[in-house]
Amino acid sequence: MTNEIDERASVAQITERLSTRYPHLDPRHVASVVAAAYDGMSTARVRDFVPVLVEREAKHRLRDEEARADRRIPA
């Protein structure tokens, strides 16, 4: 079973990984996206997979933002 301290450490690692994966994004923005994904899991009763789900959700949000930005930039 995962405890809150482990989850917070995982969230920090996720933020670091995604900041590396999306170097063109402000790390504070990446951190806020990860935090929002984590907050969205606050009512989950089974906590074991929360870090995996947070990373997945944050990645999807960042990819969606990236895709929207790419469509706005003229070629």
Tokens of 62: 């960042």
Asked if residue 32 lies in contact with residue 54, where contact means CB atoms within 8 angstroms, the answer is: no
The Cα–Cα gap between 14 and 53 comes to 11
In the chain, % helix, strand, coil (3-state, to 5) comes to 70, 0, 30
pLDDT tens-digit map of 5-34: 899 999 999 999 999 999 999 999 999 999
pTM: 0.86
Identify the architecture of domain 4-72 in CATH: Orthogonal Bundle (1.10)
pLDDT tens-digit map of 42-63: 999 999 999 999 999 999 999 9
